[in-house]
Amino acid sequence: MLTHKGVAGMVECPICKMKVHPRHLTKHKLTHDKERPRFSCIHCGKQFLYPVTLKSHAITHNPHRPKFTCQICDKQLLSKGTLILHLKKTHGNQPRLECNKCGKKLKNMKTLKEHSRTQHEYDKIFKCQMCAVAFTCEARLIRHQARHTTDFRCLDCSKVYKDKHTLKRHILKCHKD
């Protein structure tokens, strides 16, 4: 159980003097009850008060268990919950990952790698004739050029948009019935 020393509203366990949140005190006191049945791990003998806690612990002994990787530091963790806790405690409110070539901030390692691959690894040989923006693949150029030539008209109010996603947002915001 985690302690929160120095946090307002904490109470002290009368048995071991550990500081706990008041709503956890009763549950914490059970850890001192020698008569309470325990659930033992068959692999290491560690004892738990609840079967669900034992089940969570047992995963640590499985060599084929799924691993959750921190996308900031590549640390491997045992569960999504421990990954979230790791991110909060270790990395806190760190800024997103930054591309070392252009400074763009991206949300995780996967998007940083994709950005780097598509924006920096290849020559941008597909150039838009209307605005000189360049792309690494022809499909992105074609999608971009549609913004210059295609109009997406709202059937309710006749407003015109350059792409269907903006039109969709408009319809959801202004005309949802």
Q: What is the mean pLDDT of residues 102-127?
A: 78
Task: State how far the Cα of 119 lies from the Cα of 104, in Å rounded to an integer.
Answer: 11
**pTM check: above 0.95:** no
Per-residue model confidence as pLDDT tens digits over 119-129: 777 677 788 88
Name the pLDDT band for 106 (thresholds 50, 70, 90): confident
Q: Which of 86, 85, 107 is nearest to 95 (CA)?
A: 107
In sequence order, what DSSP letters do the residues of 56-117 get, joined into one string? Answer: HHHGGG-TT---EE-TTT--EESSHHHHHHHIIIIITTPPPEE-TTT--EESSHHHHHHHHI
Residue-range domain boundaries for the chain: 11-49
Per-residue model confidence as pLDDT tens digits over 38-48: 788 888 888 88
Task: State how far the Cα of 27 lies from the Cα of 49, in Å rounded to an integer.
Answer: 10
Per-residue model confidence as pLDDT tens digits over 71-86: 777 788 877 888 888 8
